Amino acid sequence: MTAYLHGSTLRPPAALWTKAVRLWVTLAFATVLAVGFSFAAPNRAFAAGDQIDSFDITYEMQTSGVLKVQETIKYRFGDSSGRHGIERYWITRELYDENQDAVYSIDNIVVKSPDGVATQFSRRTDKAKDGREEQLRIRIGDPDETISRPTATYVISYDVTGAMRTFGDYDELYWDATGLEWKASIKAVNISATVPGGAQELTCTYGAAQSKTICGKKIVSGTAEFSQTNLGPGEGVTIGVKIKSGLVADNKPHLVPDGSQLTTQEKVGIGALAGLVLVSAIGAPIVGVLWWRKNGRDQRYAGLAPGTVPVAGQSAEVVFNDPDIPIPVAFSPPKIPVAEAGLLIDGQV
């Protein structure tokens, strides 16, 4: 089985009908969200000249398969003023093969700062590639406060599940360490990873998505260490740590069905909508005919001249007019002098 993981652009083509239906079902929601974000988006979280002076990460793989992470990011803000903080992104869903997607959970996020800057954050998940890719974004900072100092250090801790994969005779922690979404350059990355039984072999690549360029790696007393300097915007570091088989319980990718296919809920919703349309198409003409038969013809009081109503105490049945019987028109001459009437009739007084 070939796995296209972490930044891969390979994917099978989705069926045209699936795309069309998904677009139809979600159009209204997408419109509302787009309008909402256009009004709610705060100042941008990066600017030309931004730089990450240091990006230090420690990983601790638990025997349960939960990866404990702590990141220390020293962020140097560029020339723009009025900045509120930074953004951090993680891929939480991506294509695995033609029929399955790999998913990752990012939980228990905590943000601190030794510099005393605001560390509150909001989170949002964005979807792409017909639902086969999802990305978690946290926006750190107070929208009502700006950072006046040139640098700010953020310490972000969180738990990851789904970062393991197995190859039979060994398991592997495989993870995009820094992510690829930074608009700032990164001056230095230093990573350490401890795993059950000690690290066996290491892989490390850096650069843009799918780059195979090797970065620094070594094992010191069973701990994996990685390093790289001078990453450009949009570049990152991906690591792999081989682990002896059987030491990590949750050692397989977390796989779910292809996200571009309709979910059960979507299928139920579309079925209900189609049924409603069908009922309306069939029922509307029937209802219209029944309504016309009851209300679509003129009515009158039986036994009374058209335009008259029963006097007090008189009862009269309401009936439909017979279309074959001409309806006499009641007419009262206007109250005008004879001379004016003659003028109207023949133009003479």
The DSSP result for 72-111, as a single string, is EEEEE--S-----EEEEEEEEEEE-SSSEEEE-EEEEEEE
SS3 (DSSP) at 50: coil
What is the C-alpha to C-alpha distance for residues 239 and 59, in angstroms, rounded to an integer? 11
Q: Quick one: CA torsion of 205, 206, 212, 216, rounded to 10 degrees?
A: -40
Contact 217, 203 (CB under 8 A): yes
Strand ranges of the sheet holding 170-176, from the earlier edge strand across to the other edge = 164-166, 170-176, 236-244, 202-207, 213-214
Percentages helix, strand, coil for the chain (3-state, rounded to 5) are: 20, 40, 40
List of domains in the chain:
16-262 (2.60.40), 266-296 (no CATH), 297-349 (no CATH)
- Report the sign of the C-alpha dihedral through residues 313, 319, 324, 330, in that order: positive
Average pLDDT over residues 309-328: 72
Two tokens at 243?
A: 């682990």
Looking at residue 297, its pLDDT comes to 66
Looking at residue 150, its pLDDT comes to 92
- pLDDT tens-digit series, residues 192-248: 999 999 999 999 999 999 999 999 999 999 999 999 999 999 999 999 999 999 999
Model confidence at 76, in pLDDT bands (50, 70, 90)? very high
- pLDDT tens-digit series, residues 257-310: 998 875 567 556 766 777 787 777 887 888 877 776 666 667 777 777 666 778
Listing DSSP states for 221-268 in one string gives TTEEEEEEEEEPTT-EEEEEEEEETTS-SS-S-EEEE-TTSPPHHHHH
Strands of 254-310 (E only): list them. Answer: 254-257, 299-301
Average pLDDT over residues 45-67: 90
DSSP 8-class letter at 327: P
220 CB-near residues (< 8 Å, 6+ apart): none
Q: By C-alpha distance, which of 75, 152, 157 is closest to 108?
A: 157
Q: At residue 145, does pLDDT exceed 50?
A: yes
How far, CA to CA in Å, does 192 sit from each of 16, 75, 202, 221, 253?
45, 20, 12, 12, 22
